[in-house]
Amino acid sequence: MGAYVIRRLGYGAIVVFGVLFLLFILFFTVTSPDDIARKALGERVPPAVVEQWKINHGYDKPLFPAPGQWADNMLVEHYRRMLTFDFGRSDADDTPILERIRKGMGPSLALTIPLFVLSLLVAIPLALLVAFFRETYIDRAGVILAVLAMSVSVLLYIIGAQYLVGKVLHWFPISGFDSNPQVVVRFLALPIMIGVANGLGGDIRFYRTVFLEESNTDYVRTARAKGCGEVRIMSRHVFRNSLIPLLTRIVVAIPFLFTGSLLLESFFGIPGLGAITVDAIQGNDFSVLRTMVYIGSLLFVVGQILTDLSYALVDPRVRLE
């Protein structure tokens, strides 16, 4: 077990190195520090101002290692800053990035954790139900509804629900956020409902496929042959043995709870990490964007390691060696 964990962590570290290299290619060579400076300052500024801006924002070193300068260049500097979480300041408004991330994480989690839990609580029972009635009209209607729900753009869900629930019915405020937990519930209810509705179609279809695959196995037929009830088969046999593919989808999603939801947060004025990212796009804030991609990838690698470890917990056949 210990050796496996170490090897798995080692591979995760290699992937993080690869991600950082790709980020360097994108944010330092495809868009050079000069481009970034000009986007922040405007096109018609004297070169001296651009140079000063680059010094202030830590872009003033040569890009690649050269003889005599193995340590003092942007590539090494990029790895050092990212790996030590020294993200520096925003290219657009000079605020410390780490500070912003720390502030944004709370609102993001307040939105995504209930969204995540509720999605599971709604989608899995519905998928079990559809799979239970397989090859009947309920199943077919369920699948068609799921495809219909998947074909609606998330933008329409958001705009439509905001209009209907917020403006016409006045059930919830249209957008905003508050640090008081009792008030914030009213702000979060609508985005959470929309998030659940948006993912529901795809989720049900995926879980249904998994459950159906499991119900065609031999041991399920044996259970049925010896007189097990259908409900018992679904809950005790099919569901428990479907946990591996379910975990792959679920555990990987957990780390993304921290990065929040880009669309929901910016639509509903929730000051989380997703909204920070959207601001970074609009403000050409490359350092914030770079940091967000890095954090997202880091969390994803962690999620994958967690998934692999969780296999061992639910399936005794999986031995980690």
Residue numbers of the site for another protein (CB under 8 A)?
14-16, 18-19, 22-23, 26-27, 30-31, 147-148, 150-156, 159, 162-163, 167, 202, 205-206, 209, 213, 249, 256, 259, 262-263, 277-278, 281-282, 284, 286, 289-290, 292-293, 296-297, 300-301, 304
As beta bridge partners, residue 89 has 96
Q: What angle do CA 255, 258, 260 make, to 5 degrees?
A: 115
Q: How far is the CB of 274 from another protein (least distance, A)?
A: 10
- DSSP letters spanning 99-157: HHHHHHHHHHHHHHHHHHHHHHHHHHHHHHHHHHTTTSHHHHHHHHHHHHHHTS-HHHH
> Residues with Cβ < 8 Å from 189, sequence gap 6 or more?
172
Nearest residue (CB) to another protein, 41 versus 278: 278
Q: How far is the CB of 202 from another protein (least distance, A)?
A: 6
Q: How far is the CB of 283 from another protein (least distance, A)?
A: 11
Nearest residue (CB) to another protein, 56 versus 216: 216
Q: How far is the CB of 19 from another protein (least distance, A)?
A: 6
Nearest residue (CB) to another protein, 119 versus 162: 162
Question: What tokens appear for 160 in the block?
Answer: 């439509």
Rounded to whole angstroms, the Cα distance separating 209 from 215 reads 10
> Residues with Cβ < 8 Å from 78, sequence gap 6 or more?
20, 23, 24, 28
Rounded to whole angstroms, the Cα distance separating 38 from 112 reads 36
Nearest residue (CB) to another protein, 223 versus 279: 279
Q: How far is the CB of 156 from another protein (least distance, A)?
A: 5
Q: How far is the CB of 36 from another protein (least distance, A)?
A: 9
Q: How far is the CB of 262 from another protein (least distance, A)?
A: 6
Rounded to whole angstroms, the Cα distance separating 57 from 218 reads 63
Nearest residue (CB) to another protein, 112 versus 297: 297
Nearest residue (CB) to another protein, 20 versus 223: 20
How far out from the chain centre does Cα 290 lie?
16
Nearest residue (CB) to another protein, 105 versus 185: 105
Rounded to whole angstroms, the Cα distance separating 111 from 266 reads 12
How far out from the chain centre does Cα 159 lie?
22
